[in-house]
Amino acid sequence: MAGGGAAGDPLLRLSGVSKIYGDLHALDNVSLEIPRGQWVSIVGPSGSGKTTLMNIVGAMDTATKGTVALDGHDISDLTGDELTEIRCRTIGLVFQQFHLIGHLTALENVMVAQYYHSMPDEKEAMEALDRVGLADRATHLPRQLSGGEQQRVCVARALINYPKLVLADEPTGNLDETNEEIVLDLFAQLHKDGTTLMVVTHDALVAEQGQREIRLDHGRVVKETWHDHGFTPRDSGLAVPAPSADGGAGQGPARSGKDKVR
């Protein structure tokens, strides 16, 4: 398989993507581009197509119509094994429900991801845990960790193979405010390091941490909002709308509670 796309190309390009189940259009003619290094928030009501979009972008499902290009590869018509290869090489996944293996330690759970990418390396796995502040919890089982600690193990697992794209599905949905801020700080550091982030969330304050906020409704992109975090649409080189007047400035609002996106 050919190498990744050129540095100036978007990491992700969707062109006319639809996902159809019988009479239901879970995604309906969605086209968008995400530059390398951008932090994108995906919002919208339940049933709007957020999870379907994430599954297709994450090479866990395929579109009924349209094309999906990820890191210079057209992944629209790949086989299941080929999608798995792309996913293991390019994508890190963070889920709301953690999906940790109960009889494995935190360190071993991180190392599991290495089996699908390269040879397990305990030193690298420890470095990943240290990066999320959990080196001292490496030998603990999931049941011995708090919810926030389990989610941070998930982030470490997502980072172990140095992905170009991190996909997070409601990563703070089960966390209290303190642990939510820890996870968002980790994402901010990833973004600073040049990792592309796509975060699906119902939390308005979480969504505002991204540079770009895309709202879905009935399977369509209905609104885009840009937040001023030192990046503007012009930086991407793409033809996109100017930042909206209601885009937040600086680092976003103080976190005085969980203001859910309606």
Cβ atoms of 180 and 199 within 8 Å: the answer is no
CATH number of this structure's domain 37-49+78-231:
3.40.50.300
The dihedral through the CA atoms of 98, 149, 227, 44 has a sign that is positive
Over residues 147-180, the pLDDT tens digits come to: 889 999 999 999 888 899 999 999 988 888 888 8
What residue ranges do the domains of the chain occupy?
A: 37-49+78-231
Instruction: Give the model's pLDDT for residue 95.
Output: 85
Residue 260 is classified by DSSP as B
Q: Which long-range contacts (CB under 8 A, 24 or more apart) does 249-255 make?
A: 252/205, 252/208, 252/209, 252/227, 253/205, 253/208, 255/177, 255/180, 255/181, 255/205
Pairing of strands 65-70, 73-74: antiparallel
pLDDT in tens, 86-129: 888 899 999 888 889 999 999 999 999 887 666 778 999 999 99
pTM here? Answer: 0.81
